[in-house]
Chain A
Amino acid sequence: MTNFQLAWRNLWRNKRRTMITSASVFFAVFFALLMRSFQLGAYDRLFQNVIESYTGYMQLQEKDYLDDRILDNGFFPDTSLVRKIENDPNITEVLPRLESFALAAAGSRTQGVIVMGIDPKGEDRATGLGHRLVKYRLDDSAVNSLQHQDIPARTRKLIKVFSGYSYSGTARLMADLGIDEKDSAMILPAIRKFASIRNSYLDSSDTSGILIGNGLSEYLKAGLGDTIVLIGQGYHGASAAGRYRVKGIVNLPAPDIDNRIVYLIVTAAQQLYDAPGLVTSAVICLKRNDDNSLEKTRLRIGRFIKDPLVLVPWRKLNELLVNQMEADNKSGLILIGILYLVIAFGVFGTVLMMLAERRREFGMLISIGMQKRKLAGMISLELLFVGIIGVAAGIAVSLPPVFYAHYHPIRFTGQMARMYEDYGFDPVMPTLLPGGYYLWQTVVVLVILIIAVGFSARRIFRINIINSMRT
């Protein structure tokens, strides 16, 4: 009869207690893992959104630009350097950007804006800017005309509710207006007829066309074909001014950008600011963008990059966001801490009960010659069994939902979806695939168990045989 067998049989002696303890460990581990997976998955997705639609995974900048985003901290990329970088196996292209500020005026209204000089084709490939063009807009005339169409009353009402909204595709439009698949054939043609806008993207030679954010277009009351004047300060103190025609309106998920952004081609921006060849950053587009590949690529191309230029990875580009996430992460950890405190109490309750219940048995065993350390070993094994069953079950049961929700994330609809989108999130709840955080939580539970084991071993070493055998 080994200690191991004895411990195993003792577990099944009080089946219910073993089950309850294992189950409490199981539920805590399961919920903690699931919660963590969703939380980390949300961060992951958020960063992916921001990185893929704005900053990219890595940028080349002049070393002072990150702290002081002025044109004077821009640089003139030399073509041989760009070629060297583009030759790296993990890099697809390098996109120049010239970003600065200006005052935009249209009619009687003005607004301070971000002017973004871009390579339109490359930017579309890298960030999908072309797909953000507004296709439908429920402006007053569209809403009016649609009220007289033969469409369901519910949709008619919703069209009024969403009056003023713009859409880059039909999916969102259908969700907002409560149009389901089977009605779409009937309703969409009317919407196309009255609410479509003739939006077009920038082409590489168009030095007078601009794209503006939907929010900005509403504020300036500037539509397609309207003229916008940009006034600002040029490179090295020159003055900057230019007239442009609105070619397209884009819908950007983050409102503070949507309300203030103007895109033009990079050479047009250079003309505006009187700085031919100047860029403020170059987005380096990657094939593989996991932390490991990113770091390797950074080290490889870092060799060509000489002062004053630096490579800035996404974490630094989005420092504010990263810090916010870290703060948010703490609240998640506190919740998990509470969950684990609950397990700790559960496990200790069981241990205390078990020790009290088996006092006589322990006294008898020590009387007939079982060494205390052997007895403590047996009890430790029992507890470890209970804990490990719980942890293993928790991990096993968490895997299917975590994997499933990673590949088929829960998708929000309606109000919830809009809320997510307004904050720049995709309206989905993905999970993060198992990784370090699984290990980490298993370690926490094992630490709790080891404390419980230490506690019961201590109790066993202090057993007074005479007292434990009396009554």
Chain B
Amino acid sequence: MKVVEINDVHKIYHDTEVEVRAINGVTLSFEKGEFTVIVGPSGSGKTTLLNLIGGLDQPTNGEILVAGHRLSELRPSELIDFRMEHVGFVFQSYNLIPVLTASENVGFIMSLQKWPKEKRIARTNELLGSVGLSDRGNSRPSQLSGGQQQRVAVARALATRPEFILADEPTANLDSKSAEALLDIMEKLNRDEEMTFIFSTHDAKVMKRARRIITLEDGKVVSDETRTEN
């Protein structure tokens, strides 16, 4: 089942005098249960592509379908609701709301969606357990390590059972031990729950685990390899 379809997408930035073709004719699709990384040199368009898939930005040309929704047809406020329901985000940093505890951060979207309290608490505990932070629910982000914060972010992203999780360089600020722990958790979620992950990264540890590696250069896909299981 396809969760994302990208059809000849272009993204041109005109912010400065020079126009930047950040994405320059990309056609791709992603299946449910993928564990995919997007790699490429700095400035090749990885972040831009993830933003387009996540509905944070609109393409200049071309079409993106996510879970059957044509993103260009959604109004800005519908797009926000769309992201809340269908997309999980894990950013490189600044993922969490500083004044909320880990539990509250995980439960944040659920409370925006007005889940009943018991259901929310149960789901929060389950998610904190699945990222190995059952005992840190009451900690504020500033009391957690970078890796723990990223794991809370993963738990939050999973909260409303999105179609897929987009993670832009999730390990960039982590030491290798924390990065491995985060990847273990994501791999496990992918394996056990068939959660779809799409990353961008420069990190060899992430690439090593990927089953599909898409390489971008100057906004174009230059290779798309799927590694067969052994």
List residues of chain A with CB under 8 Å of any chain B CB. Answer: 1, 6, 9-10, 12-13, 360-361, 364-372, 374, 465-466, 469
Contacts and interface: CB of A to CB of B under 8 A. Distances in A.
Main secondary structure of the interface of B (DSSP, over half): helix
Given A366-B80, A367-B56, A369-B83, A9 B91 contact: no
Nearest to B91: A364
A466 B107 contact: no
Nearest 4 pairs between A and B by C-beta?
A369-B84, A9-B99, A360-B94, A465-B56
Nearest to B113: A369
A369 B56 contact: no
Interface in B205-224: none
Nearest to A10: B99
A367 B83 contact: yes
A6 B77 contact: no
Nearest to B156: A368
A364 to B, nearest CB: 6
B129 interface: no
Contacts of B107: 1
Contact of A367 (B81, B85, B89): B89
Nearest to A359: B94
A13 B99 contact: yes
A361 B94 contact: yes
18 contacts: A1-B107, A1-B108, A9-B99, A9-B100, A13-B98, A364-B91, A364-B94, A364-B95, A367-B83, A368-B89, A368-B108, A369-B80, A369-B83, A369-B84, A370-B84, A372-B77, A465-B56, A469-B91
A370 B80 contact: yes
Contacts of A368: 83-84, 89, 108-109, 156-157
A268 to B, nearest CB: 84
Interface in B70-111: 77, 80-81, 83-85, 89, 91, 94-95, 97-100, 104, 107-109, 111
A1 B84 contact: no
B112 interface: yes
Given A369-B109, A370-B84, A466-B56, 15 more contacts: A1-B100, A1-B107, A1-B108, A9-B100, A364-B91, A367-B56, A367-B83, A367-B89, A369-B81, A369-B83, A369-B84, A369-B85, A372-B80, A469-B91, A469-B94
Nearest to B111: A1
Nearest to A370: B112
A365 B99 CA distance: 13
A361 B100 CA distance: 13
Contacts of A12: 99
Nearest to B56: A465
A465 B108 CA distance: 19
B180 interface: no
A405 B207 CA distance: 77
B40 interface: no
B112 A369 contact: yes
A365 B108 CA distance: 10
Nearest to A369: B84
Contacts of A369: 80-81, 83-85, 109, 112
Contacts of A465: 56-57
A12 B108 CA distance: 19
B51 interface: yes
Contact of B97 (A361, A366, A367, A466): A361
A365 B80 CA distance: 10
Contacts of B81: 369, 371
B45 interface: no
Given A360-B94, A365-B97, A466 B51 contact: yes
A466 B57 contact: yes
Contacts of B59: none
Contacts of A466: 51, 56-57
A229 B77 CA distance: 94
Contacts of A374: 112
Contacts of A361: 94, 97-98
Contacts of B108: 1, 368
A471 B84 CA distance: 23
B54 interface: yes
A367 B57 CA distance: 10
Interface in B147-170: 156-157
B104 A367 contact: no
A6 B108 CA distance: 11
Given A1-B111, A367-B83, A466-B57, A6 B99 contact: yes
Contacts of A6: 97, 99-100
Nearest to B105: A1
A370 B77 CA distance: 10
Nearest to A358: B98
Contacts of A10: 99
A67 to B, nearest CB: 68
A247 to B, nearest CB: 82
Among A9, A360, A367, A370, find the residue whose CB has the most chain B CB atoms closer than 10 A.
A367
Among A1, A365, A368, find the residue whose CB has the most chain B CB atoms closer than 10 A.
A368
A371 B56 contact: no
Nearest to B98: A13
Interface string B25-61: 0000000000000000000000000010010110000
A367 B107 CA distance: 16
A14 B81 CA distance: 30
Among B56, B83, B91, B97, find the residue whose CB has the most chain A CB atoms closer than 10 A.
B97
Nearest to A461: B76
Nearest to B100: A1
Contact of B104 (A1, A360, A370): A1
